[in-house]
Amino acid sequence: MRDGLKERTKQLCEAIVSEQNANRFMELVSELNRILIENEDAAQQARAVNEVAE
């Protein structure tokens, strides 16, 4: 995960813990989930490329 994404992930986690508004909470969780899914997809693609290269 790039440094910028690590920092954004950390910020989102901190905001989620303290968020009182249910709608805002869900927005933050959705954004965090999107980032994590994109990161996992990128990691899987990188692994697939490495396997083909071997």
Q: Structurally, how many domains does the chain consist of?
A: 1
The tokens of 27 are what? 């927005």
Which position has the token pair 């990161």? 39
Q: Which domain holds residue 15?
A: 3-53
Is the pTM of the predicted complex or chain greater than 0.75? yes
The tokens of 54 are what? 């071997």
**What pLDDT score was predicted for residue 26?**
98
pLDDT tens figures, 1-54: 678 899 999 999 999 999 999 999 999 999 999 999 999 998 888 888 877 777
Is the CB of residue 32 less than 8 Å from the CB of residue 12?
yes
Is the CB of residue 39 less than 8 Å from the CB of residue 1?
yes
